[in-house]
Amino acid sequence: MLAVGALLGAAGGASADGAGTKPSGAPTGDGAKALCKRAPKIDQRIDRILDRLNGDASQRGSIARLEQRVANAKSAGHTQIETYLDHRLTFRRSLVPTLESRQKDLTDVEKWCASHHDGAGS
C-alpha cells in the first residue's frame, strides 16, 4: 500500500509541475509553404490511386475487380457477401470523382505556388 501511495504521489507531482508541453496556440499562417512543398507528392499519390481504381479486373483494388467479385458472389448465391461487397463497390466508385476534384484543386494550388515562390511569403 505504501508503494502505491509513493507511485501516485510521484506521478501527481510530475504532472502538476507544468513542465509538460504546452499548446502552441492558434496557427499564424495558412500553411501555404508546407502545402507547396507536399503538393508534388500528393499529386503522385492521387495519380497512383486513380490508376489503381481505374485498372482492369486483374488489378488489386480496382473497381473492375470488385465488380467481378460482386458478380461471383451473386452467381454463387452468397447474398450477404454480395451485399457487403456491393456496399464497398459503391464507396469505391464514389472515390473517383472526389479524387479527380482534389487533383484539379491541387493543380490550381501548384500554379499558385509557382507564382508565389512556393508560398515562402506566407
Q: Grid cell 464514389 — which residue?
A: 94
Q: Give the C-alpha separation, 36 to 115, whole Å.
A: 11
> What pLDDT was estimated at residue 30?
86
Give me Rg for the CA atoms of the chain.
Answer: 25
Q: Please provide the distance, in angstroms rounded to a whole number, between the alpha carbons at the two ends of the chain.
A: 57
Q: How confident is the model at residue 57 (pLDDT cuts 50, 70, 90)?
A: very high
Per-residue pLDDT tens for 25-52?
A: 776 788 899 999 999 999 999 999 999 9
Residue-range domain boundaries for the chain = 30-115
Q: Is the pTM of this model over 0.85?
A: no
Query: Do the Cβ atoms of 48 and 74 come closer than 8 Å?
Result: no
Backbone angles phi, psi at 18, to 5 degrees: 75, 15
